[in-house]
Amino acid sequence: MGTIVSILVLVLFLTAILTGGYNKKFLQRVQGSNMWDWLTTVDHKKIGIMYLGAGGFFFLIGGLEALLIRVQLFYPNNDFIVGDTFNQLLTMHGTTMIFFVAMPLLIGFMNVAVPLQIGARDVAFPFLNALSFWLFLGGGIMLNLGWLFGGAADAGWTSYVPIASNQFSPGPGVDYYVLGLQISGIGTLIGGINFLVTIINMRAPGMTFLRLPLFTWTTFVTSALILFAFPPLTVGLLLIMFDRIFGSHFFDAAMGGNSLIWQHLFWIFGHPEVYIVILPAFGIISEVISTFSKKRLFGYNSMVFATILIGFLGFMVWAHHMFTVGMGPVANAIFAVATMSIAVPTGIKIFNWLFTMWGGRLQFTTAMKFAVGFIPTFVMGGVTGVMLASPPADYQYHDSYFVVAHFHYVLIGGTVFGVLAGVYYWWPRMFGHKLNERLGNVHFWLFFIGFHLTFLIQHWLGLYGMPRRVFTYQAADGLTWINQVSTVGAVMMGVATLVFLYNVVYSRKSATAASAERDPWDGRTLEWAIPCPTPEYNFAQLPKVRGLDAWWMEKMAGNKELEPAEPLQPIHMPSSSYRPILMSLGFFVSGLGFIFRTIEVGVLGLVMVFLLMFTRSFEQDHGYHIEVDQIKEAEKGA
Amino acid sequence: MGAGNHATATTGLPAHPEKATFEGKNKVLGFWLFLGAETVLFACLFGTYLALKNSHLGGPTTQDLFEIPLVAAATIILLTSSLTSVLAVLEMKRNHLGRMQFWFGVTVLLGLAFLGLEIYEFVHYVHEGHTFTSSAFGSAFYALVGTHGSHVLFGTVWITTLMVQAAKRGLNLDMAPKFYVASLYWHFVDVVWVFIFTVVYLMGKVG
């Protein structure tokens, strides 16, 4: 019955699309609306904002899950959330935070900043950019549907088999995980290719590789990591899907399968993934520290080199997540040495940031506070990382709260601090007004102190023997007060986030037309050289770039504007398209079909995707042009 | 930027029509990168196959199953299709629409012949008790070879689609990059098959 209903709905839906809705006027009204504009946009600036909005929304969900976990652990033998529900919470917290918070927030900034920083009018493939976003959103919603229908994923964010097999996770939870990540993973891969091509092909005249702002460089290396790290995840998820839904035996030891294959595939993806979510944060920190120290980034070339080296080494260390599996001393030793060697380029970066600040004219704006708070916090996470890289010691730390403390130091102390620095830094560029600095100050201190209160003490919690992923402990274990301190810290971070949300509303309400400054921070890179709000074509004339920190150079030379590299001429723009969101919907329908074991619906969804691809291939749409007088008018108004 | 799009078959194509427009340049580079990702994808499937190929659980082994003459014929067919796709792209660069369509048509037919042989082969294996669910070896075999087969299928549909478009619109700077990346894809699928032939079939017969 369910099958028939879903098929009917799909058929009706397709008919509606093909016949053009139920009347012409209605369609016109829809197409004229703001909503339609956002749903069909291919503009990188709007897509970036949507990425940030959706990532922020998932951040609230993931944060709420974290708070519930900490509440359960407040008392020994607490029975607030136990057993399977707790497993779902911790799985969904980890999966959401990595795939649907850290990545989209960073990709959001890439969208907002990279085309502007390299002096381009858009990314290389605007259509695919929109598709990336909608696939990410579809995957994220699908993962979270588990909460409503049949139970969420509960096998840990690493989803190790055989725990994730039908035998031990019989519900649909793991299916939501597998298909949600598969769909959003396709989007991420497309996004990676898009940014690589954008940075290689679309740089403005004179913007050589060694003049790229560091955030663009880290985006470039991150995109390369995405390109090579996501296919192993795709394959791993495919194999789990085959095992769960189609009865294959890749991971089933009784039928000759081998569960270690999943661990290898997952971590061949998973380790580069941690660099995917930290390198762009490094880039943001570099921009912010340089801007608010009023100095060129110290050791720019070594920063670029260190970024590339970290990206390269990131692929050589995956098995350090598997030291206790029993690969033998030789393999463990090789991966240990490779892992420790990553500390070298990372150290180069830390010292370069410190030397950038050294002797600079420091301005402690909120963005700068997060950037400066990042440095010691991330160093602590790095140091415990080197401790964990030693196999004999890792046998002690493995699966304890010490590991939890370590990766929260790098993921919050690194990625989240970087993202928050970026939020305060690029907010005026995105929305035409600054965030309130006084509220920002409260946000920073509450978040910073709350963070260290939560996680510093968890190192000892781990050393005293508390394993990760357990839902309770005994009073006699002597872990009660440590857990309670940790929970208090988590609540502080929650309050800090509420302050931030209030700040967003407050700053928007108190913004006036005059608060739209094009260069509010006295910035150094090209995104601060164009009018605010950013025109849809970004640069009326593509700029000529004469050196690193191109905008700063022009300002120091006494120029009020960038020097154009082309005459004022009509600008070619890509058309909006409703296809990306429909293609994502096709994948979504298909995913739901597979989750509920209705293979017909699964196939129908895929057919819808292929039909949309097929018809798009026949579409002849070369976009439109913005004429010179329109540009002149827009530039005058700004 | 978009000016090149207005060129038509009558005005002729420049020397490298696939990269003559900005969109074309982006498309070709993006597609090379995509093939990089595809390479990793197949590498993972190869790794999985190598780890599981001896887990046949007493079912037919690689030595029992594989028959080199059939697979060798499939290999020759697919490699020839790579050659014909090169000829097609050469004709495209010479602005010979008809000849290009002919050679791409031959490419598609060869691809379909390859698929026919593969389906025949799979049916044969199933009769011998070697299925996707019979053992870990079966799962890994069909995952690897089947993924390749579905790539061939996609390639034939794709190239056919483009041929229909070219028949309607003729050759222009909009079509040229499309044909060029489709042929890149086709070569990639062939190269993967060379590895499958070696690693799965030849090594399966020997090892």
Chain B residues with CB under 8 Å of A618 CB are 161, 165
The alpha-carbon gap from B49 to the nearest alpha carbon of chain A, in Å, equals 9
Query: What residues of A are in contact with residue B34 (Cβ under 8 Å)?
Result: 193
What percentage of chain B exceeds 90 in pLDDT?
Answer: 85
ipTM attached to this prediction: 0.93
pLDDT tens-place string over residues A338-350: 999 999 999 999 9
User: What's residue A638's pLDDT?
Assistant: 55
**Subunit contact A618:B165, Cβ cutoff 8 A:** yes
> Do the domain assignments include residue B44?
yes
Contact A153/A176 with Cβ under 8 angstroms? yes
Interface A–B counts its CB contacts (< 8 A) at: 115
Looking at residue A2, its pLDDT comes to 66
Distances (CA, A) of A277 to A283, A314, A627, B132: 11, 12, 40, 37
Cβ <8 Å between A252 and B55: no
Question: Is B36 inside any structural domain?
Answer: yes
CA-based nearest distance A278→chain B, Å: 21
**Average confidence (pLDDT) over A14-22:** 66
Question: Is the CB of B55 less than 8 angstroms away from the CB of A256?
Answer: yes
pLDDT tops 60 at residue B111:
yes
Q: State the Cα–Cα distance between residues B177 and B182, nearest whole angstrom.
A: 8
Least Cα distance to B94 among B5, B198, B179, B193 occurs for B179
Q: What is the pLDDT of residue A21?
A: 59
DSSP string, A58-102: HHHHHHHHHHHHHHHTSSTT--SS-HHHHHHHHHHHHHIIIIIII
A230 has a chain B CB within 8 A of its CB: yes
DSSP structural state of residue A631: H
d(CA B41, nearest CA chain A) in Å:
5
Comparing CB atoms, the residue among A255, A265, A572 nearest residue B1 is: A572
Does residue B74 lie in a domain region? yes
Please report which confidence band the pLDDT of residue B5 belongs to, taking 50, 70 and 90 as the band edges. Answer: very low
CB contact under 8 A, B161 and A617: yes
Task: Provide mean pLDDT across the span A8-29.
Answer: 70
pLDDT tens string A261-279: 999 999 999 999 999 999 9
Does A227 sit within 8 Å of B48, measured CB to CB?
no
Residue whose entry in the numeric block shows the structure tokens 């070219």: B166
The domain total for chain B is 1
Give the tokens for residue A453: 């209160």
Q: In this structure, what are the phi and psi dihedrals at residue A412, rounded to the nearest 5 degrees?
A: -85, -50
CATH (domain of B27): 1.20.120.80
How many angstroms separate the Cα of A69 from the Cα of each of A75, A85, A89, A483? 12, 10, 7, 11
Burial class of residue A207, CB neighbours in 10 A (0-12, 13-18, 19+): buried
Residue A380's SS3 state is: helix
Give the gap in angstroms from C-alpha B52 to the nearest C-alpha of chain A.
7
Residue A11 CA to residue B23 CA, distance in Å, equals 35
Instruction: Tell if the CB–CB gap between B55 and A255 is shorter than 8 Å.
Output: yes
- Return the CA Rg of chain B: 20
**Contact between A395 and A402 (Cβ < 8 Å):** no
Closest CA to A492 of A555, A443, A435: A443
Which domain, by its residues, includes B21? 17-52+68-206
The 3-state DSSP class for residue A123 equals coil
Contact A151, A192 (CB under 8 A): no
Longest dimension (CA), chain B: 66
Give the dihedral of Cα atoms A488, A491, A496, A497; nearest 10 deg.
160
The CATH superfamily of A33-577+621-637 is Cytochrome c oxidase-like, subunit I domain (1.20.210.10)
Q: Do A252 and B30 touch (CB under 8 A)?
A: no
What predicted TM-score, i.e. pTM, was given to this entire model?
0.94
Is residue B12 a part of any domain in this protein? Answer: no
Q: Give me the residues of B, 3-32, that contact A with CB < 8 A.
A: 5, 22, 25-26, 29-30
**Looking at chain A, which residue has its C-alpha nearest residue B143?**
A239
Q: Which residues contact A630 (CB under 8 A, 6 or more apart)?
A: none
The string of pLDDT tens digits covering residues A167-221 is: 999 999 999 999 999 999 999 999 999 999 999 999 999 999 999 999 999 999 9
Query: How many Cβ atoms from other residues are within 10 Å of residue B205's Cβ?
Result: 14
| Cα A377 from Cα B189, distance rounded (Å) | 47
- CB-count burial class (<10 Å; 0-12, 13-18, 19+) for A118: buried
**Chain B contact set for A125 (CB, 8 A):** 26, 30
Q: What is the mean pLDDT of residues A393-407?
A: 96
The reply to whether A228 touches chain B by the CB within 8 Å rule is yes
Give CA–CA dist A82/A473, Å, rounded. 12
Contact yes or no for A124 and B133 at CB 8 A: no
| Local confidence band at B10 (pLDDT 50, 70, 90 cut-offs) | very low
Task: Please state, in angstroms and rounded to a whole number, the distance separating the CA atoms of residues A281 and A409.
Answer: 14
Q: What are phi and psi of A99, to 5 degrees?
A: -85, -30
Contact call for residues A294 and A236 (beta carbons, < 8 A): no
Identify the residue whose tokens are 């005459």. Answer: A567
CB nearest B36 (choices: A228, A256, A622):
A228
